[in-house]
């Protein structure tokens, strides 16, 4: 009889093991826990709210933290005829200052550093920011 008992034991365990291995059992468990006992997240954790919020935050960061790209209006100014000159006046601290630079006809400007170049320098002990925009060719 002991032999039979062992055999029954083996057959029974095999049968139960097959049942317990069915994917439907795992799926039912998962669904049951999710439906009844999963912690309800605050509404702002839901993807439908979270994703647009993060997108909006990203846009705000781009607008306020990073410099804005040059607008089309600026581009139009620099897209003028090739007769660009340095014959200009700088307005610094509400004063008009003669640059003292003789007029030079510039026929072509190219850039090795990209479409814009920004740097600061002292002009008559006044720090100024110089922005170069190269709307045409960029090498």
Partner 1 sequence: MALFPGKDPDRGLVQRAQSGDKAAFGKLVNRYYEMVYALSYGVLHSAEPARDVTQDVFLKVYHEIVKFQGKSKFKTWLYRVTVNTALDAARKIKPATSLDMTDASVEENVKPVVLEDPSPGPRDRASGEELKDMLKRAIGELSPEHRAVLTMREWQQMSYEEIAETLDLEMGTVMSRLHYARKKLAEILKQKKGFEKGSF
Q: Which residues bind partner 1 (CB under 8 A)?
A: 1, 3-5, 7-9, 11-16, 18-20, 22, 24-25, 28-29, 32-33, 36-39
Name which of 38 and 137 has its Cβ closer to partner 1. 38
Name which of 37 and 64 has its Cβ closer to partner 1. 37
Minimum CB separation of residue 38 from partner 1 in Å reads 6
The DSSP secondary structure of 99-115, one letter per residue, reads --PPP--B----BSS-S
Q: How many CA atoms lie within 13 A of 39 on its CB side?
A: 3
Distance separating alpha carbons of residues 87 and 102, to the nearest angstrom: 7
Minimum CB separation of residue 26 from partner 1 in Å reads 9
> Nearest Cα to 88, choosing from 128, 115, 125?
128
Minimum CB separation of residue 20 from partner 1 in Å reads 6
Q: Record the tokens describing residue 28, joined without a space.
A: 């039912």
> Nearest Cα to 133, choosing from 71, 49, 83?
71
Minimum CB separation of residue 34 from partner 1 in Å reads 9
Name which of 7 and 113 has its Cβ closer to partner 1. 7
CB 124 within 8 A of CB 93: no
Name which of 40 and 65 has its Cβ closer to partner 1. 40
């Amino acid at each position: 009889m002991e032999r039979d008992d062992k055999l029954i034991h083996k057959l029974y365990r095999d049968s139960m093991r097959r049942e317990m291995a069915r994917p439907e059992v795992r799926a039912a468990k998962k669904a049951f826990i999710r439906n009844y006992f999963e912690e309800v997240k605050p509404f702002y954790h839901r993807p439908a709210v979270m994703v647009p919020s993060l997108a909006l935050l990203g846009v705000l960061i781009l607008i306020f933290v990073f410099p804005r790209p040059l607008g089309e209006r600026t581009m139009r100014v620099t897209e003028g005829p090739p007769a660009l000159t340095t014959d200009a006046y700088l307005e610094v601290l509400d004063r008009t200052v003669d640059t003292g630079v003789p007029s030079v006809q510039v026929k072509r400007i190219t850039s090795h550093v990209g479409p814009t170049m920004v740097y600061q320098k002292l002009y008559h002990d006044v720090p100024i920011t110089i922005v170069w925009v190269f709307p045409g060719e960029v090498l």
